[in-house]
Structure formats: structure tokens, C-alpha cells
Amino acid sequence: MILLLSDLHLPDEPSPLREGFLHFLEGPARDADAVYILGDLFEYWVGDDVGLKNHAAEVAALAALHRSGVALYFMAGNRDFLIGAGFAAATGVTLLQDPQVLELGGTRTLISHGDRYCTDDVGYQRWRRFSRNRLAQWLFMRLPRRRRLAIAGGLREKSGAEKRNKASAIMDVNEDAIRNAMQQHGVSRMIHGHTHRPADHLLQLRAGARAMRIVLADWHPDHMEYLSVDAYGVCVRRRIETSPPSTATAYRAR
């Protein structure tokens, strides 16, 4: 059983989201063979020196899950791309480049955070290239901690304001970019997050080949969800139950 999740946006302060993630790590994740976190696990990450202290509970729980024999993988999102070797060493996670091809339930599957395929948002893609620049990151990490935290807070406010003024379609993935990526990597299924638009999309590639794009759910205090994929390729969206149980929707991936 493989579990995948993304866009938890865990804050520094106490939150039901943090409690839900710990419940996931100490519960459902213990029965998995591997867990893949596809970015934006944290609301922001200004460096391992700050994040490991502010999220000590999550770090300890991830390390305990790793010691129990569950393989852990992390792919950076647009909020936590500064997660580095210190986080990997403390938790036992393997850091992945974006995107990656996996064999999930007998199906070649492309996994990604997803923001790289929002190509219609030209301004965001410009920022994405700059923020991933090694020199820019090197300079940022040499700023005092308080300055880094202040910059992160300012960027969050700016991002929120820009989202309110952008057309909804611009912030979604570009279908041509998705098809090109799937064809380039020779896959018939793709799993990603980022857009906060959880859904299952059927699409056609070249020569009429059918494909599936699964968008992971973003987390809210009243809805915390992950995706499980079993050995037969059956994908199930499951909610993390910290209160009364709910139903899970299952389908066979194609």
C-alpha cells in the first residue's frame, strides 16, 4: 500500500492540521509500505535551522515512522522548497526531484507537486525560476532568521492578494503541459497537488490513449485527506478520522 498526500500547509502555531498529520503518521501511515508527500507540507519553510525547531513534533513523528520500516519520500512544493539535507537526516525521508516516475499498482505514474505545469501563470513561473536559483537561495539563507521569517510572511500576503486578482483558470495546470509531460515520460497516470482542486480527470494522449490525472486534496481542519494505491492499482481517497467516520470513494485507476 502506497499513500500520497500534499498541500497540508502546516503552520507554526498549534492547529487541527498539525494534530491531523500526527494522527496520520501514528495511525494509517504505519500500515503503508511507503508514504509520498508531494509538497507544501508546511505553510512556509525558511531553512532547516528554523523549521526543525518549529516543527519538532512532526519531525519526531516522521522519524519514528521511518524507524518502523515505512519508506518516506518528500518532494518540495512552492512553500517548502528550502527543505534540505538537515530535514532529511532528522526524519529519514528521501528527497525527490520534481517530477518522478513510479510504478504504482502496475501502472507507470508521474508524480509532481504540480506548480511547474501552471504555465499560463507567467508571473508565478518567473518567481518559481528565481526562487529555485541556487545563488538566490544561498543569499537568502545567510539572512538572519527573523529577516527570513519576515520575508516569508510578506510573500504569503502578496501571494494571497495576487490570487484574489487572478483569473481562476490561470492558476490551474495547463492541459497541454500535462499531456506533454505524460507523453514525454511514457505514463498513463499522473498524481499531483498544488492547485487545491481535488478531482479525477480522464484525458486522451496521442493515438487516442486514455490517461488519468489525479489531483490530491488540500487540507482543511474539517477535511484532511490522503490517497492510497494498492498492489492492484485501486486508488482510494481516505479522510483522516479524528472524529466520526466518513466514507471513502474508490475507483480503479486506468
| Rounded Cα–Cα distance for residues 63 and 51 (Å) | 15
Annotated binding-site residue? 66: no
Annotated binding-site residue? 7: yes
Exposed/middle/buried for 3, CB within 10 Å: 0-12, 13-18, 19+? buried
Annotated binding-site residue? 223: no
| Rounded Cα–Cα distance for residues 189 and 182 (Å) | 8
Annotated binding-site residue? 166: yes
Annotated binding-site residue? 159: yes
Residues in Cβ contact with 225 at an 8 Å cutoff, skipping those fewer than 6 apart:
5, 198, 216, 217, 219, 237, 238, 239, 240
| Nearest Cα to Cα of residue 41 among 96, 1, 117 | 96
φ, ψ of residue 215 to 5 degrees: the values are -100, 120
Annotated binding-site residue? 79: yes
- The bridge status of strand 107-112 relative to strand 100-104 is antiparallel
Annotated binding-site residue? 68: no
Annotated binding-site residue? 78: yes
| Rounded Cα–Cα distance for residues 14 and 43 (Å) | 13
Annotated binding-site residue? 163: yes
Annotated binding-site residue? 158: no
Exposed/middle/buried for 53, CB within 10 Å: 0-12, 13-18, 19+? exposed
Annotated binding-site residue? 9: yes
Annotated binding-site residue? 192: no
* Dihedral (Cα; 170, 164, 199, 71), 10-degree rounding: 100
Q: Tell me the three state secondary structure of residue 119.
A: coil
Give the residue ranges of the annotated binding site: 7, 9, 40, 78-79, 113, 121, 159, 163, 166, 194, 196
Give the residue ranges of the annotated binding site for substrate: 78-79, 121, 159, 163, 166, 194
Give the residue ranges of the annotated binding site for Mn(2+): 7, 9, 40, 78, 113, 194, 196
